[in-house]
Amino acid sequence: MYKRILVAIDDSKMGEDVLREGLALAKTHASQVRVVHAVESPYAYPESWYTEVRTDLEALRQIWRQAGLRVLERADGLARQVGIVVETGLLEPDGQRVSRVIVDDATRWHADLVVVGTHGRHGIEHLLLGSVAEAVARTAPASVLLVRAH
């Protein structure tokens, strides 16, 4: 049923749960898997906020990028442990919403399922932070599996 599963993870316990769920589905359906991680972007904020410290932000961006690559390396290792070879992708939003770059990647890769985690935020926290999972579910070109935080 699902031949191309895109799994979007972050560097959290829930991200690992999302990966395990995606891998279990891939094993069941003999699917191809692409695991992606979106790097936080210091450029998501107005330019006036960072003009004076641009070099510091570029250094921070490189640190986040390296951390994201380590997340993907761990995901690749976990997939290999269960006998699945995955393709990985580091997504760099550069001012775009994380949900947008995940959906764009799923579209380019022709995913027929997107697996993403939801932290289950409520109230003011949800209003202020929004929900990557909710935005992905609304705009993805494919079915979306939301994995809840335990």
Alpha carbons 96 and 75: distance in angstroms, whole number? 24
pLDDT of 128 higher than 50: no
Beta-carbon contacts of residue 135 (< 8 Å; ≥ 6 apart): 97, 99, 100, 103
Rg (alpha carbons) of the chain, rounded to whole number: 16
Neighbours of 95 (CB within 10 A): 12
Burial class of residue 1 (count of CB atoms within 10 Å of its CB; 0-12, 13-18, 19+): exposed
What's the structural domain count of the chain?
Answer: 1
Burial class of residue 66 (count of CB atoms within 10 Å of its CB; 0-12, 13-18, 19+): exposed
Averaged pLDDT for residues 39-58: 61
Predicted confidence at residue 94, as pLDDT, reads 82
Q: What is the CATH number of the domain that holds 38?
A: 3.40.50.620
Alpha carbons 121 and 147: distance in angstroms, whole number? 13
pLDDT: is 63 or 54 the higher one? 63
Predicted confidence at residue 125, as pLDDT, reads 46
Structural domain boundaries, residue 108: 4-148
pLDDT: is 36 or 134 the higher one? 36
Position 95 confidence tier, pLDDT thresholds 50, 70, 90: confident
Averaged pLDDT for residues 45-57: 58
Averaged pLDDT for residues 1-12: 95
Averaged pLDDT for residues 19-30: 97
For the record, the structure tokens of 83 come out as 């006998």
Closest listed residue to residue 22, CA positions, set 2, 49, 52: 2
Averaged pLDDT for residues 39-56: 60
Closest listed residue to residue 79, CA positions, set 150, 143, 9: 9
